[in-house]
Amino acid sequence: MAEMDPTPELEPDQARRQLEAVLMMARGSLSSRKLGQLAGLEDGTQARTMIRELNEQYDQNGQAFHIKRVAGGYQMLTRPQFASWIERLQTAHPRPKLSRSAMETLTIVAYRQPIIKVEIEAVRGVSCGEMLRQLLEAGLIRIAGRSEKLGRPYLYGTTREFLESFGLAGLKDLPRAEQLAGEGLPEWDCPEENSEQNLADNEPSV
């Protein structure tokens, strides 16, 4: 049986263009290993090297976008100074509408996960079942298992979509408590409390 010809080595410029094209079309962050596979590179190490080179080019040329480490992978994003312009666009995947109460609940889950419902309510001082269902529907939190406490209640944690939505490489990049002091909640669409959506009956019990 004849041996297969080895895959020809890509020219550096062509390899960078292929990697750039993959990043432009990706719906979310991708690991360096996955990027290397999709772009036909040798491995994840080559992908990381080329990401660094591309970012250097973008910086030198003053491009409106760059490649950022998000949710344990890499994603091509516009730079923060253009956020107000991007928000004018009607996207296919708009940000979920979250009330201030939902944002407070999400913040507690993010910083204290895995956490059960009664512990969240102890911090907020009010019932949060509806807020948890809203966040589950939005894909920002998930059921991360069950506690060993009486009744084995659900444990809640954040999702990969949460990291992508807030542009975080990982939970270690959450602002520290002293950074949040006096700054309030992260910016998000926060309609009035009476405009919250009713959720589907088939959501997991909270």
* Domain range annotation of the chain: 12-83, 100-195
Q: What is the pLDDT of residues 51-60, one digit of tens each?
A: 999 999 999 9
Q: What mean pLDDT do residues 114-124 have?
A: 93
Q: Where are the alpha helices (DSSP H) in 125-206?
A: 129-138, 160-165, 177-180
Question: How far, in Å, CA of 39 to CA of 44, rounded?
Answer: 10
pLDDT of residue 115: 94
Q: Residue 5 above 60 pLDDT?
A: no
12-83 and 100-195 share one CATH topology? yes
Q: Give the dihedral sign, CA 77/83/85/89.
A: positive
* Least reliable range by pLDDT among 35-39, 90-94, 145-149: 90-94
Top CATH class of 100-195 equals: mainly alpha
The average confidence (pLDDT) of the chain is: 78
Question: How far, in Å, CA of 182 to CA of 80, rounded?
Answer: 22
Confidence of residue 110 (pLDDT cuts 50, 70, 90): very high
- Please tell me whether residue 53 adopts helix, strand or coil conformation: helix
Q: What is the pLDDT of residues 185-196, one digit of tens each?
A: 444 444 333 333
Question: How far, in Å, CA of 68 to CA of 168, rounded?
Answer: 9
Q: Residue 93 above 60 pLDDT?
A: no
> Strand 154-158 relative to strand 115-116: parallel, antiparallel, unpaired?
antiparallel
Q: What is the pLDDT of residues 28-83, one digit of tens each?
A: 889 999 999 998 898 989 999 999 999 999 999 999 889 998 888 998 988 888 87
pLDDT of residue 193: 36
Residue % of the chain over a pLDDT of 70: 76
Q: What mean pLDDT do residues 115-140 have?
A: 92
Question: How far, in Å, CA of 118 to CA of 192, rounded?
Answer: 25
pLDDT of residue 6: 40
115 close to 108: Cβ distance less than 8 angstroms: yes
Q: What mean pLDDT do residues 3-32 have?
A: 77
CATH of 12-83, one of 1.10.10.10, 1.10.1270.20, 3.40.50.2000, 3.40.50.300: 1.10.10.10
Max mean pLDDT range (91-105, 130-144, 167-181, 190-204): 130-144
Q: What mean pLDDT do residues 135-162 have?
A: 92
Between residues 13 and 60, which one has the greater pLDDT?
60
pTM above 0.85, yes or no: no
Question: How far, in Å, CA of 141 to CA of 136, rounded?
Answer: 5
